């Protein structure tokens, strides 16, 4: 997510300005390219319960006008992990 946040913020502000200061929203997703495995040492419970997993984060970036009409950018997101 952090690797994408500057680009998402820039896009939200640009679309907000192009839209005449009206609210904008667009979906985003950050994927982990490969799954991961829990190690046995120190993570025995996770290792035996899950072993390997995949993950991603999905969300919606919004830009709405603040009291002065400037864009206020926010991100509502959900982290997802599923067993492989």
The pLDDT tens digits of the residues spanning 10-68 come to: 999 999 999 999 999 999 999 877 888 888 787 788 888 888 889 999 999 999 999 99
Query: Are 53 and 36 within 8 A, CB to CB?
Result: yes
Output the pTM of the full model: 0.78
Query: Are 61 and 28 within 8 A, CB to CB?
Result: yes
Computed over its alpha carbons, how large is the radius of gyration of the chain?
A: 18
H-helix or E-strand spanning residue 78 = strand 71-83
Q: 3-class SS at 14? A: helix
In 3D, which of 17, 5, 4, 84 has the Cα closest to residue 49? 84
């Amino acid at each position: 997510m952090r690797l994408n946040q500057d680009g998402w913020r820039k896009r939200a502000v640009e679309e907000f300005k192009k839209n005449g200061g009206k609210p904008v929203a667009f979906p985003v997703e950050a994927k982990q390219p490969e799954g991961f495995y829990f190690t046995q040492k120190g993570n025995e419970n996770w290792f035996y319960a899950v072993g390997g997993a995949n993950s991603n984060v999905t969300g919606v970036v919004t830009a709405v006008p603040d009291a002065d009409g400037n864009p206020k950018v926010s991100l509502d997101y959900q982290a997802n992990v599923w067993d492989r």
